[in-house]
Amino acid sequence: MTARRRVRWLAVAAALALVAGCGGPGGDGDAPVGGAAAGAVRLSPTDPGPQGRVPQFVVECTFSHTAPDDPILHPRHSGRSHQHLFFGNTTADADSTAESLAAGDTTCDQKLDRASYWAPALYDHGELVEPITAVAYYRPGVGVDPTTVQPYPFGLKMIGGDQVAEEPQPLDVVAWSCGTGSERSPTPPTCPEGRPLRLAVSFPDCWDGENLDSEDHVSHMARSEDGACPDSHPVPVPQLLFTITWPITGEGHELSLASGSLLTGHADFFNAWDEDKLRAEVERCLHRGVTCGVASNRI
């Protein structure tokens, strides 16, 4: 096993303990959850618990490609965006539609997840750093009753984080860490060997119930507060936590993001999940209060 493959294996092994039929590699989701399923954890439907113990399902998506495209902010204008790292759907580009994504292939271990995930490229001394992997955690918003969460509508577009931020963003929205450690920072910390650099971006978890996108690309979504969605965005949807891990540890790095300052961490999501599969994941994992994937505290 090469050193790079070993780092990736450690990252994934520590981040995931998937239950069969709940977002597992290529699983069809037909297996019952929570009964005899090894590792399933029953939780109070209103108790968010610590990260990694909330009801959730998890998908790992390896790096697909890089391009200066953004199907949300700059649709049909290839090359207009800053450089992005794309995960999941292998066909994603500036011309992507929900239908074209649904017909494409994916790097995700769950082959019915054909959504596209992307984030700004990370550079070290001006050289692009290829990521180890990305993990998408689908869970209820903090304090939200999991039984009320609805699947994303097909074609929904979302942005998490702020690509023009000039001040540190809230750590529950954008955070850097070493591996899956609990210490979070608004900028990349110096990470020890075996705990590579990771960026985590949390997406809004409330939808207005009508629009798949909006003129500013954010106002059709909102964040829950005190376990409830605002009246303007009454539909609770999964809170997507998207994480990217890079093979960066130790001193001597000069990091930058394609979007600008290291404070501008963000990520984008374009939903092209198989609709029946996504509905099954929500019902069999979130609605039953089951943890279908568990993140450890350390790589």
Q: What is the pLDDT of residues 119-172, one digit of tens each?
A: 999 999 999 999 999 999 999 999 999 999 999 999 999 999 999 999 999 999
Q: SS3 for 141-198, per residue?
A: CCCCCHHHCCCCCCCCEEEEECCCCCCCCCCCCEEEEECCCCCCECCCCCCCCCCCEE
Q: What is the pLDDT of residue 116?
A: 98
Radius of gyration of the chain (CA): 18
Distance CA 203, CA 241 (A): 6
Distance CA 248, CA 192 (A): 9
- What tens digit of pLDDT does each residue of 26-56 get? 333 333 233 222 233 333 333 333 344 689 9
> Cα torsion for 57, 249, 106, 69, to the nearest 10°?
120
For the whole model, what pTM was predicted? Answer: 0.83
- Each domain of the chain, given as residue ranges in start order, spans 3-286
* Structure tokens given for 38: 């090894």
Q: How confident is the model at residue 79 (pLDDT cuts 50, 70, 90)?
A: confident
Does 180 have pLDDT greater than 90?
A: no
- The mean pLDDT of 274-289, rounded to a whole number, is 95
- The mean pLDDT of 276-290, rounded to a whole number, is 95
Length of the chain: 299
Q: Report which secondary-structure segment, H or E, holds 14.
A: helix 3-15
- What tens digit of pLDDT does each residue of 235-252 get? 999 999 999 999 999 999
CB 144 within 8 A of CB 44: no
Does 1 have pLDDT greater than 80?
A: no
Does 3 have pLDDT greater than 50?
A: no
Query: For residue 225, which amino acid is it?
Result: E
